[in-house]
Amino acid sequence: MSPADPGGGRGDEAASAAAWAHVEVSRHPDRPYSLDLVQRCLDDFIELHGDRQGGDDAAVVIGLARLSGQPLAVVANQKGRTLEERGKRNFGMAHPEGYRKAQRLFTLAGRLQLPVVSFIDTPGAYPGVAAEERGQAWAIAQTLEAQLALPTPYLAVVIGEGGSGGALATLLADAVLVLEHAFLSVASPEAAAAILFRDAGRKQQAAAALRLEAANLLEWGIADEIVPEPPGGAHTDWDGTGRLLRPRLEARLKELTERGFDPARRRERYRRLDGLFSA
Amino acid sequence: MAISPAYARPQSTEAAFTCGACKGTFPRAQAAGNLYVCPGCDAHSRISAHERVRQLADRGSFEEWDGELAGRDRLGFVDTKPYVDRLQEARERQGLPDAILSGSASIEGRPVGLASFDFGFLGGSLSTAVGERLARAIERSADERRPFVCVTSSGGARMQEGVFSLMQMAKSVAALHRLAETHVPFISILADPTMGGSIASFAALGDVILAEPKAMIGFTGARVITQATYEQLPAGFQTSEFHHARGLIDQVVDRRQLRTVLGRLLAVLGAQTSEDARRLA
């Protein structure tokens, strides 16, 4: 950082406004949610239900589909659009059963040798008493482990909000795509502001300081590709968003299935990700 | 930056120890002799990483690993003060390059890889340097067939490192795979507090999970839950005992028994780290 640019200039009003605009687009109520994009980018989607341990969390959707004829396993965070559906989907915030449902999908994919595609769009794991009582942290940790052991090709797409550990539970793929106005963050800007400034109202400043715009993820090597959205953003044109995303999924999946596959390489990617230390 | 390793560094030079729970005051020597468990009310106070190692490792057995490993301010982060200043102050105060201490040691005569978080260093939060030192300790333990013992006391992610902090959860879990591959055990000890990204990654993945009494453990902190949901919190919410009752922690162990319990565990698990493991593999 140059002296003329203390803190990367992240504290100033323009940076705050720009970062906040990014967050608002990613959360736009008309933005396509996972199933809207599954419908436009994948073929023959068949939803499966349940974690096989007594729960079926609607904040996480799993299923089977095809892309360019290739059978796939799919896991997605799902937000609701109507008041009723928002309640049912819990605003895309999963309980432990949702993460265990994802684990079930990873197990199924390994057993049947199916590549996995994940769609990420969650404010984060649900912050509630029942979630804690049933082992929210343990469920997320085990899902991280399941992803790094998955013996098949794995592609992740961040389509909206990628909040915290809840997002990481379906992000640790061989290739990570991020829609132009999506973001990935260590905490929601509101939560980060509450921690850093003891004032959730300073969310814009926190968003800027966290530098959570999608383009940074590419620069830092966390994402492999930023997928452009239609002019005006994905919320203005769902079909257009699907038309831009689908060929990128096809290309990445083809690349992953053809280049030969080794889960050890995925573990190495996440082991060395920050690139700050040579082993 | 030169960091002078400050092994067995005292927590404080003050002559008196005041318990944070009952506010009782005791001579420091008495508190230290009781492993900083309050002589009056048995509350387990938070201790530094150096003090933890001093309590657990056989005398003179600890040899530090990666003692110079320090991170940097990747985001140019400023909140109420610059992150670089926070780091510098913490380094000087805690005598560590970041919020974790690691090395080889023996416990009750059994060799281990040992890591301990330092809550006094920015809340024991997961920076890239902490994640790296943890991952290296895990991998070296696997390579040297030492059971890995980690004492966590961490608020979770370090906000000032943004998404890089988040990715340390993935890094630590990726490293743990090496222990699984080599059949080397991981004993995870949860001390007050173990929250957020720390419990939602490596700390929850111990083959055996122990916790100190009344430690706060959970994904989302109680204050945030109350603000987000207005829910009533049940009695004892997110304590060690709460999680133990729900099958998430194997044993709640008083600090004064911890070395003994570890010694017994290591005696049983030790067979899995030597010839037997190779024969079974």
Domains of chain B: 15-45 (no CATH), 46-280 (3.90.226.10)
pLDDT digits (tens, 9 = 90+) for A103-129: 999 999 999 999 999 999 999 999 999
Query: By CA distance, what is B229's nearest residue in A?
Result: A128
Residue B276 has a pLDDT of 56
* Contacts with A185 from chain B: Cβ below 8 Å: 162-163, 166
Residue A279 has a pLDDT of 45
Residue B1 has a pLDDT of 31
Is the pLDDT score of B10 beyond 60? no
Phi, psi of A70 (to 5 degrees): -80, 120
Residue B33 has a pLDDT of 96
Q: What is the mean pLDDT of residues B160-183?
A: 97
> Which of A95, A267, A274 has the most B C-beta neighbours within 10 Å, making it the best mutation to test the interface with B?
A274
Number of alpha carbons in the 13 Å side-chain half-sphere of residue B93: 14
**pLDDT grade, residue A194 (50/70/90)?**
confident
Domains of chain A: 25-268 (3.90.226.10)
Residue A13 has a pLDDT of 85
pLDDT digits (tens, 9 = 90+) for B190-227: 999 999 999 999 999 999 999 999 999 999 999 889 88
Residue A180 has a pLDDT of 97
CA distances from residue B196 to A34, A136, B124 in whole angstroms, order as listed: 26, 10, 12
pLDDT digits (tens, 9 = 90+) for B70-109: 998 999 999 889 999 999 999 999 999 999 999 999 999 9
Q: Please judge whether B79 and A197 are an interchain contact, meaning their C-beta atoms are less than 8 angstroms apart.
A: yes
DSSP result, chain B = ------TT--S---SEEE-TTT--EEEHHHHHHTTTB-TTT--B----HHHHHHHHSPTT--EESSTT-----SS--BSSSBHHHHHHHHHHHHTSSSSEEEEEEEETTEEEEEEEE-TTTGGG-B-HHHHHHHHHHHHHHHHTTPPEEEEEEE-SB-GGGHHHHHHHHHHHHHHHHHHHHHT--EEEEEEEEEEHHHHTTGGGG-SEEEE-TT-BEESS-HHHHHHHH-PPPPTTTTBHHHHHHTTS-SEE--HHHHHHHHHHHHHHHGGGGSHHHHHH-
Residue B277 has a pLDDT of 55
Report which secondary-structure segment, H or E, holds A245: helix A238-258
Q: Please judge whether B169 and A144 are an interchain contact, meaning their C-beta atoms are less than 8 angstroms apart.
A: yes
- The closest CB to that of B177, out of A138, A148, A191, belongs to A148
What's the complex ipTM?
0.94
Q: Please judge whether A127 and B203 are an interchain contact, meaning their C-beta atoms are less than 8 angstroms apart.
A: no
Is the pLDDT score of A5 beyond 70? no
pLDDT digits (tens, 9 = 90+) for A50-61: 999 999 999 999
Q: Name the A residues in 88-127 with CB < 8 Å from any B CB.
A: 125, 127
Is A219 near chain B, with CB under 8 Å?
no
Sort residue A162 into left (φ over 0), alpha (ψ -120 to 50) or beta.
beta
Q: Please judge whether A135 and B229 are an interchain contact, meaning their C-beta atoms are less than 8 angstroms apart.
A: no
Is B55 near chain A, with CB under 8 Å?
no
Q: How far apart are CA B235 and CA A9, in angstroms?
A: 45
Is the pLDDT score of A199 beyond 90? no
Is the pLDDT score of B5 beyond 70? no
- The closest CB to that of A186, out of B165, B170, B171, belongs to B165
Answer with the residue of higher pLDDT: A195 or A5: A195
* Contacts with B224 from chain A: Cβ below 8 Å: 127, 191, 194
Q: Please judge whether B175 and A271 are an interchain contact, meaning their C-beta atoms are less than 8 angstroms apart.
A: yes
Q: What's the mean pLDDT when you consider all of chain A?
A: 92
Is A274 near chain B, with CB under 8 Å?
yes
CA distances from residue B236 to A121, B38, B216, B241, B270 in whole angstroms, order as listed: 33, 20, 9, 8, 35
Residue B146 has a pLDDT of 96
Q: What's the mean pLDDT when you consider all of chain B?
A: 92
Answer with the residue of higher pLDDT: A195 or B135: B135
Is the pLDDT score of B2 beyond 60? no
Q: Please judge whether B200 and A222 are an interchain contact, meaning their C-beta atoms are less than 8 angstroms apart.
A: no
Q: What is the mean pLDDT of residues A182-199?
A: 90
Q: Name the B residues in 180-199 with CB < 8 Å from any A CB.
A: 196-197, 199
| A-B contacts at Cβ under 8 angstroms | 187
Residue B6 has a pLDDT of 39
Number of other residues whose CB lies within 10 A of the CB of residue B113:
27
Q: Please judge whether A127 and B228 are an interchain contact, meaning their C-beta atoms are less than 8 angstroms apart.
A: yes
**pLDDT grade, residue B14 (50/70/90)?**
confident
Residue B7 has a pLDDT of 33
CA distances from residue B11 to B6, B212, B233 in whole angstroms, order as listed: 11, 19, 33
Q: Please judge whether A142 and B204 are an interchain contact, meaning their C-beta atoms are less than 8 angstroms apart.
A: yes
Is the pLDDT score of B272 beyond 70? no
